[in-house]
Chain A
Amino acid sequence: MKTEDENGKRRREEVCPGKKSTLDLDAARARIADTKGPEFWRSLEELAGSPEWQEMMHREFPKGASEWLDSVSRRGFLKLMGASLAMAGMTACTKQPLEPIVPYVRQPEELVPGRPMFYATAFTLGGYASPLLVESHMYRPTKIEGNDKHPASLGGTDIFAQASILEMYDPDRSQTINNLGEVRTWGNFLEAIRGPLSAQQAVQGAGIRILTPTVSSPTLADQMRELLKIYPQAKWHVYEPVNRDNVLEGAKLAFGQPVETHYKLENADVIVSLDADFLSAGFPGNVRYIREFAKRRDPDSVKMSRLYVVESATSSTGAKADHRLPMRAGEIEQVAELLSKFLEQGHPSDVFSSQREKFAAAVANDLRAHRGSSVVIVGDHQPPIVHALAHSINQALGNVGKTVFYTDPVDANPINQTASIKDLVADMRAGKVDMLVIIDGNPAYDAPADLNFADALKSTNVPVRIHLGLYQDETAELCQWHINKAHYLEAWGDARAYDGTVSIVQPLIAPLYNGKSAHELVAILAGQADPSSHEVVQSYWKKQHPGADFEMFWRKSLNDGWVESTAFAPKQVSIRPLPSISAPTSPGAQNAIEINFRRDPSIHDGRFSNNGWLQELPKPMSKMTWDNPVLVGPAMAERLGLKSEDMIEIELYGKKLTAPVWVQAGHPDNSITVFLGYGRRRAGRVGTGAGFDFYPLRQSATAWVATGVNIAKTGETYKLATTQGYQTMDTPVGQRPLVRTASLDEYHKEPEFAKEEEPPKDLTLYKPYPYEKEPYAWGMAIDLNACVGCNNCIVACQSENNIAVVGKEQVVLGRHMHWLRVDAYYQGDRDNPKAYFQPVPCMQCENAPCEVVCPVGATVHSSEGLNDMVYNRCVGTRYCSNNCPYKVRRFNFLLFQDWETPQLKMMRNPDVTVRSRGVMEKCTYCVQRISEHRIDSEREDRKIQDGELQTACQQSCPANAIVFGNINDPNSGVSKLKSNPRNYSLLADLNTRPRTTYLAEIRNPSEELGS
C-alpha cells in the first residue's frame, strides 16, 4: 500500500501530518522531476536570497524577531511554510477531508504492507566501512542501525552513519547532470567525453588525471587498475583533507612498508593515548574500540583498565582518561621520547624536572608492569616519528599480537595524499592535464591553501573538468561537467572495514535523481558500455568467487552484510632502527602560539555541513552547535583578555581571518584549536555560511599543527549557540550530586557511595500504583562509566522519532528539540579538569511532576509505567516543562517540522507522530517499538524476551551504556544493573521515582600519580 498523503497537513489535528506518508516513491520522484530538477529548489533558494524576500521577511518578522532573517538562509524553505500551515492548523480542527489511497498494480512478493524490512549495507568514511542494517518502510529507508553480527559494529554505529540517512534525502543534493550550469542528460555527457577519451588513447592517457578520496572498495580499485592498464600514462591521485599520511609515513619509518594498525582494547589493561581520539566518530574502528574499551571499564566484573591520555585539545577520549596531560601538539613528540627512554632505562630518581617527566615516568612504570597487556595509540595528526616511536614501544612491550595487530592497509592506494595532490596541481599548472576527473571530493574547498587548487582549476587550462559529487559544491562550480552522484543508499558498491572485512554496499532505494556512482563513471572512462553499478560490482565478485555457487555466495554476503573471510590476516613486520631523536624544539617555538587543525566532531571535514542533524549536534566537550569557534585554554584567554564569543583575528603565514573564541576548560596553554569544515560557500540551505572556514590557513607542510600564529582581539563579539547552560555541578551554595563518581579504591571501600538516601516509599498520603502487577514495567539504566559521550544516541533518537532541526537562532534561545541530550560537566582545575558525560532522556518518573500539572491530561502514565505524551491532546501550556526538574521536555515554539519537502516526508518514521507547532514533545522510551514488539509477541502468544526490544538510543550505543527493559523481570539486563550498588537516581530527593537511573562513574587512577 502506498498512501499519497498530500493533504496531511490539513487534517483534523495538525500534529499528525506526514506521519503515514508512506509516499508513492515513483510519484514523489515524478513530482521532484516535474518541477524540473534544480529550479524546484533553486527558485526557493533564490527566493530566500532575493532582496524582495529579505524585505518581505523584514515586514513579516520585524527586527527583534530577527532570528527569522538567519533562519531563512538556514532553513528558509521550512520557515516559508510556517505561516500558512499554522493557519491551516487553526482553521482545520473540525473535519477530516477525504484521503486517497493508492495500491500497487503488482505488489512485490516479499512486501507485507505496514511492516518494515531490514537490509544490510555499509557506510564509508575515509575509506573505512561501517557495516549497517537499514530499516525500510515500503522501500523507503527510514532508520540506520549497526550490523550487530559484524565485528566492526556489533550493533553500534557512529553519528555520521546514523545521519547519512538525512544526507540521502537532503533536498539540496545535486539532482541533475550539469554542463556549465546547463542541465544535461547522462547521454549528453557520454557523447561529450567520447572525443576527449579517444584523443587520450593516442597518448596513452597522458593527459588523464583522476582524483579520488581514499578508496577501500576492491571493485573500484580493480576498475582503476583496469583503467590504468588502458591508459598507462594516466595518473590516479588521492586526496582527503582528513587523511592518514602521518600514520602511513610512521609505518614506513618503522617497518619500511605501509601497514594498517589496529587494536584489541579488550586485552589492554593499560591504554596510553598520545593525542589519539580513538573514542570518537572518524577514528577508524572507533565503534568496535568503544565497545571493547567500555567492556574493560566495568569495575564490577573484570579488571578495570587504566587510560592515560596526552592530548593537544579536549576530546571525549581525554574526558574518559584516568590521567590526562594537556600538552601542545608539538611537544607530544618529546613525551613519546621520554616514554621510550624511561621504558628502557626507567627513571633515574624520584625528582622530576617537569610535570610531563613525572607523567611519562609513571606511565612508563605502568606499561612495564603490563607487558603484553598494554597499548600505545597515536593520533593521526601526530608526526610520523611519534607513530614510529609508538610502534617500537608496542613492539618492545610485546603488545603486538595481543593488543596491537598489523595488517595490509585498508586503503587500496596507500600513497601520501598531500604529495599526491601537490603533484596534481603541479601538473595542472604545467598544462599536462587534459582531462581531470574529480570523483566525490571538494578540493576547491579543502585542498591545502598553499596549493591554491581552486585557482589552478580556474586559471590553468584543463580542457575537460568532470566532477562527480553529491552536491553542486565549490568544486562543481569550477568544473564544466558536474554529475550528480548516487548516494550510497542508492547505488551498489563495496568497501572494507577497519579490519579489512569487505561489505557489499547494496542500495535501499532507486536513485531519487538518477544519480551515478563512481563505479559507473569509471566504467565509462574505461570504455565500457554504460554498465549499472550492480553489474560492475557483481562482475568483480564473480571474478573473485568463480563457480556455480556464486548465487549462494552473493546472497549470503548480502544477507550477512559482509563477504566471508575477507578480513586481513595479521601481518608479521619487524621494527627498523629509528632515526636518532630529533633535537627538542627551540624555546622560540616553545613560546610561539600553536594552532591545531582538527576534523570537526560533528561535520568531519565539511562534507556533512548540509546535514541539519549534525550541524545541530552538540560537540562532545563544548556542546557547541552550528559553529566552530577557536578553542582557547582558560589561562591563555586570561592572559590575552579573551572571553567566549569575542572575535579575534588570527594571523598565520601572513594570512589573516577573524573568528570567535570559545574558552575551553582543559585546553593546553599557548595553543589554539580550530575545527575544519565550516564556512562553506556552496553547501546548501543548511550548511552555507555556517561557521568559519579555516582551510585558508592550512598549508600542506603543516597540515595539522602550525606554530607562530598571531592573535588580536577585534573588539566585536559573535553569538554562539551552545545547548548546555552551565558545565559545572558546583554552585555558590554547594555542589549538586548530578554525576556521582569515585575512584576504584573508594568504590571498593564503599560500594554504596552513590546511593543518596532515597525517600521511603510511604512518604506520601497516597498508596503507590501497583506496577508490579503488570507483565511489563519499563525501565532504563545508563552506565556513566561506559558512556564515552559520542553523541550517537542523540542522532539515533532524532532519526527514530522524527525530531525537527530548529536552526542556530532557536538553539541560542534554548529551543533545540533533542529528546535525549548528553550533558558534559567539568570539575576541578580549569586547566586540566575532570570531565563527565551524562545522557539525559526522559526519566519516566513514577511520581511524574509534569503529569499532575497538565490541565488536559495530555501527559499521563501508562499501566506499564511510561510517562505517555499524547501530542494530539496537548494544548501547549508548557506547565509540564516548567515543572520537570530534568528539563527533558521540548516544545514546538514555532513550526519546526518541514511538512512540505517530499523527500523529508519520505524519510519520516511512519510509526511516530510528526509534531507540529504549539505541542510539547519528549522521550517515551520509543513507545512505538514497545507497541510493535508487544503486539508481535502477543500474536505469537509469548512474552517479550529481554534484549529483543531495544530503544533507538540503546540499539545504536557502541558502548552498551544504555540498557532498557522490563524491571518486573528480575533477570532482565536492566534489573541486574539497577541492583548494582553504583545505581542511583538523579535528584532522588525530589521523590519523583524515576524509571531511568544511572550507574555512578568510577575512575581508576594510579597510585603513582594519585587522583
Chain B
Amino acid sequence: MKRTPVYGMMAEFDSPTTLVAAAHRTHEAGYQKVDAYSPFPIEGLAEAVGFHKNRVPLVTLIGGLVGGLSGYLLQYWISTSSYPVNVGGKPYHSWPAFIIVTFEMTILFAGISAVFGMLALNGLPMPYHPVFNVPRFAFATKDRFFLIVFASDPKYSPAETRRFLESLGGRAISEVPD
C-alpha cells in the first residue's frame, strides 16, 4: 500500500453487530479502502468491507493436483523405466498398489498449499503493522472491534472521515500513524 505519514483513521466498536453495520454504512458511503478487525471471525464482515475474491480454494486445488500427479508419475517412472524389477511376479506397472501413495501425496500438497497459500495471500507473517501503533488495538484480540479507513482511500480526509466515523457510533477514534 502507498506510504503516507498517516496510515488511516480507526474507530472502535464494542459488538460485532455494530461493527458489521458500521462497515456496511462506510462502504455505502463510498469508502473503498476500508478494513475491519475482530477477535473472532464474523459472518458477512468481509463482504461488508468489500472483500469478494478469495483465492485459497484455487491454490489448494492446484497444490492437490500437482501432488497427486507427481506422486503417481514418480512411482510409474521408478517401477517401469528407472529400474524395473520382477517383484513377486507382479507387473512393473502395478497401478493398484500405487494408488495409496498418490492419494497421500495429493493430500499432503493440497494441505501445505492451503496453509501457506492462505498466509501468503494474507501477507503474513507481518509482525510489524501500523495498526499496532494504536494502543487500544491490543483489545482487537480480546473483546473489541475496530473499523479503519485507509489514508490511501481517495475519499479520505482527516476531518471528514473522523466526523463520518463518529456518526457511526465509533468510539475512541484516532488517526493511525504510519
Complex Cα gap A764–B94 (Å)? 12
Q: Is B90 an interface residue when CB atoms closer than 8 A count as contact?
A: yes
> Within 8 Å CB of B89, what residues of A?
764, 766, 768-769, 846-848, 861, 993
B78 CB, nearest partner CB in chain A, Å: 10
A849/B85 in contact, CB under 8 A: no
Interface residues of B in 75-91 (CB under 8 A from A): 85-91
A852/B88 in contact, CB under 8 A: yes
A851/B91 in contact, CB under 8 A: no
Interface string of B52-95 (1 = CB under 8 A from A): 00000000000000000000000000000000011111110010
A861/B91 in contact, CB under 8 A: no
B91/A766 in contact, CB under 8 A: yes
B85/A769 in contact, CB under 8 A: no
Complex Cα gap A860–B86 (Å)? 6
Complex Cα gap A850–B90 (Å)? 12
Interface string of B140-175 (1 = CB under 8 A from A): 000000000000000000000000000000000000
Most A CB contacts (10 A, CB to CB) among B86, B88, B94 go to: B88
B146 CB, nearest partner CB in chain A, Å: 55
A968 CB, nearest partner CB in chain B, Å: 16
Interface string of B89-129 (1 = CB under 8 A from A): 11100101000000000000000000000000000000000
Interface residues of A in 817-848 (CB under 8 A from B): 845-848
B90 CB, nearest partner CB in chain A, Å: 6
- A865 closest partner in B (C-beta): B86
Complex Cα gap A764–B91 (Å)? 11
A883 CB, nearest partner CB in chain B, Å: 10
A860/B87 in contact, CB under 8 A: yes
Q: Is A106 an interface residue when CB atoms closer than 8 A count as contact?
A: no
B90/A852 in contact, CB under 8 A: yes
> Within 8 Å CB of A993, what residues of B?
89
Select one of B88, B94, B96 contacting A847, CB under 8 A.
Answer: B88
**DSSP majority for the B interface?**
loop
> Within 8 Å CB of B85, what residues of A?
857, 860-861
Complex Cα gap A993–B86 (Å)? 15
B88/A857 in contact, CB under 8 A: no
Select one of A765, A767, A857 contacting B87, CB under 8 A.
Answer: A857
- B91 closest partner in A (C-beta): A766
Interface string of A572-601 (1 = CB under 8 A from B): 000000000000000000000000000000
Complex Cα gap A283–B88 (Å)? 44
Select one of A767, A852, A862 contacting B91, CB under 8 A.
Answer: A767
Q: Is A863 an interface residue when CB atoms closer than 8 A count as contact?
A: yes
How many residues of chain B have a CB within 8 Å of chain A? 9
> Within 8 Å CB of B91, what residues of A?
766-767
Complex Cα gap A849–B94 (Å)? 15
Complex Cα gap A862–B86 (Å)? 7
A766 CB, nearest partner CB in chain B, Å: 5
A761 CB, nearest partner CB in chain B, Å: 11
> Within 8 Å CB of A767, what residues of B?
91
B86/A852 in contact, CB under 8 A: no
Complex Cα gap A849–B91 (Å)? 14
> Within 8 Å CB of B86, what residues of A?
769, 860-863
B150 CB, nearest partner CB in chain A, Å: 56
Complex Cα gap A475–B89 (Å)? 60
B121 CB, nearest partner CB in chain A, Å: 39
> Within 8 Å CB of A847, what residues of B?
88-89
Complex Cα gap A852–B94 (Å)? 11
Select one of A765, A848, A862, A863 contacting B88, CB under 8 A.
Answer: A848
Complex Cα gap A311–B73 (Å)? 68
A856 CB, nearest partner CB in chain B, Å: 11
Most A CB contacts (10 A, CB to CB) among B86, B91, B94 go to: B86
> Within 8 Å CB of A766, what residues of B?
89-91, 94
Complex Cα gap A854–B88 (Å)? 10
- A991 closest partner in B (C-beta): B89
> Within 8 Å CB of B88, what residues of A?
845, 847-852, 861
Complex Cα gap A140–B85 (Å)? 37
> Within 8 Å CB of A863, what residues of B?
86
Complex Cα gap A531–B86 (Å)? 62
Complex Cα gap A849–B88 (Å)? 6
Complex Cα gap A861–B87 (Å)? 6
Interface residues of A in 346-361 (CB under 8 A from B): none
> Within 8 Å CB of A768, what residues of B?
89
Complex Cα gap A857–B87 (Å)? 8
Most B CB contacts (10 A, CB to CB) among A766, A845, A849 go to: A766
A718 CB, nearest partner CB in chain B, Å: 43
Interface residues of A in 380-414 (CB under 8 A from B): none
- B97 closest partner in A (C-beta): A852
Complex Cα gap A845–B90 (Å)? 12
Interface string of A851-886 (1 = CB under 8 A from B): 110100100111100000000000000000000000
> Within 8 Å CB of A765, what residues of B?
96
A620 CB, nearest partner CB in chain B, Å: 34
> Within 8 Å CB of B90, what residues of A?
766, 852
Most A CB contacts (10 A, CB to CB) among B89, B90, B94, B96 go to: B89
> Within 8 Å CB of A857, what residues of B?
85, 87
> Within 8 Å CB of A848, what residues of B?
88-89
Complex Cα gap A963–B96 (Å)? 38
- B83 closest partner in A (C-beta): A857
> Within 8 Å CB of A849, what residues of B?
88
> Within 8 Å CB of A862, what residues of B?
86
A849 CB, nearest partner CB in chain B, Å: 7
Complex Cα gap A769–B88 (Å)? 9
B142 CB, nearest partner CB in chain A, Å: 51
- A767 closest partner in B (C-beta): B91
A768 CB, nearest partner CB in chain B, Å: 6
Complex Cα gap A767–B91 (Å)? 8
B169 CB, nearest partner CB in chain A, Å: 66
- A993 closest partner in B (C-beta): B89
> Within 8 Å CB of B96, what residues of A?
765
Complex Cα gap A860–B88 (Å)? 7
Interface string of B10-35 (1 = CB under 8 A from A): 00000000000000000000000000
> Within 8 Å CB of A854, what residues of B?
87
- B94 closest partner in A (C-beta): A766
Complex Cα gap A768–B89 (Å)? 6
B123 CB, nearest partner CB in chain A, Å: 42
B96 CB, nearest partner CB in chain A, Å: 8
B79 CB, nearest partner CB in chain A, Å: 10
- A854 closest partner in B (C-beta): B87
- A845 closest partner in B (C-beta): B88
B82 CB, nearest partner CB in chain A, Å: 12
> Within 8 Å CB of A769, what residues of B?
86, 89
- A847 closest partner in B (C-beta): B89
A409 CB, nearest partner CB in chain B, Å: 58
A552 CB, nearest partner CB in chain B, Å: 54
- B89 closest partner in A (C-beta): A847
Most B CB contacts (10 A, CB to CB) among A769, A850, A854 go to: A769
> Within 8 Å CB of A860, what residues of B?
85-87
A773 CB, nearest partner CB in chain B, Å: 12
B138 CB, nearest partner CB in chain A, Å: 53
Complex Cα gap A891–B94 (Å)? 29
B106 CB, nearest partner CB in chain A, Å: 21
Interface string of A17-39 (1 = CB under 8 A from B): 00000000000000000000000
Using a CB–CB cutoff of 8 Å, the interface residues on chain A facing chain B are 764-769, 845-852, 854, 857, 860-863, 993
Using a CB–CB cutoff of 8 Å, the interface residues on chain B facing chain A are 85-91, 94, 96
| A-B interface, 10 closest residue pairs, ranked by CB to CB distance from nearest | A851-B88, A861-B86, A852-B88, A847-B89, A848-B88, A860-B85, A851-B87, A766-B91, A846-B89, A860-B87
Given contact pairs A851-B88, A854-B87, A861-B85, enumerate 8 new A-B contacts (beta carbons under 8 Å).
A765-B96, A766-B89, A847-B89, A852-B90, A857-B85, A860-B87, A861-B86, A993-B89
23 pairs from A and B in contact (CB 8 Å cutoff): A764-B89, A765-B96, A766-B89, A768-B89, A769-B86, A846-B89, A847-B88, A848-B89, A850-B88, A851-B87, A851-B88, A852-B87, A852-B90, A854-B87, A857-B85, A857-B87, A860-B85, A860-B86, A861-B85, A861-B86, A861-B87, A861-B88, A993-B89
